[in-house]
Amino acid sequence: MQLNTREPVCCFEKGDQGGTFNGNALAMAAGLAVFEIVSRPEFLEGVRRKGEYLRVRLEELSSRAGQDRVRGQGLLLAMGLDSDGGPRIVEEAFARGLLLNSPRPDTLRFMPALTVSEEEIDRMIGILEEILIRKPFS
């Protein structure tokens, strides 16, 4: 798929690339609308701002909960844990409506949507605070 040029950029010839949804006008209109929104400078600035907000909130929580450092960039962040409790935290978070990932037993990974709000980040931190501080895991 080419999104940002009107010039040919590949070697596909007619009939080489096909699929059930190719040429679907609704899908093309939706894709174009998304591209126009995410191409705006203010959209990227909002993503950067929310990434920094998430980092600050996670660092505060990590410090209060006695966990390891927060690492990553933008809205793709990870929190190191001082134990191998990651899978259990993921289960407890899921039971409270928060979807997380623990790629290693001592790490939590955060990958919210680019459209996440600060209020949603605050709710996520509240759930994690309940799990990590108010009801410590073992």
- What is the residue extent of each domain of the chain? 41-134
Range 41-60 average pLDDT: 96
Computed over every residue of the chain, the mean pLDDT equals 88
Is 50 exceeded by the pLDDT of residue 116? Answer: yes
pLDDT at 28: 86
Task: List, in sequence order, every residue forming a beta bridge with 77; answer none if it has no partner.
Answer: 72, 110
3-state helix, strand, coil split of the chain in percent (to 5) is 50, 10, 40
- Nearest 5°: CA angle at 114, between 73 and 130? 75
Superfamily of domain 41-134: Aspartate Aminotransferase, domain 1 (3.90.1150.10)
Is 60 exceeded by the pLDDT of residue 23? Answer: yes
pLDDT band, residue 5 (cuts 50/70/90): low
pLDDT at 134: 74
pLDDT in tens, 54-70: 999 999 999 998 888 99
pLDDT at 2: 45
- Distances from the Cα of 130 to the Cα of 81, 115, 125, angstroms: 15, 25, 9
Whole-prediction pTM: 0.76
pLDDT in tens, 67-81: 889 999 999 999 999
19-23, 39-43, 74-78: least confident range: 19-23
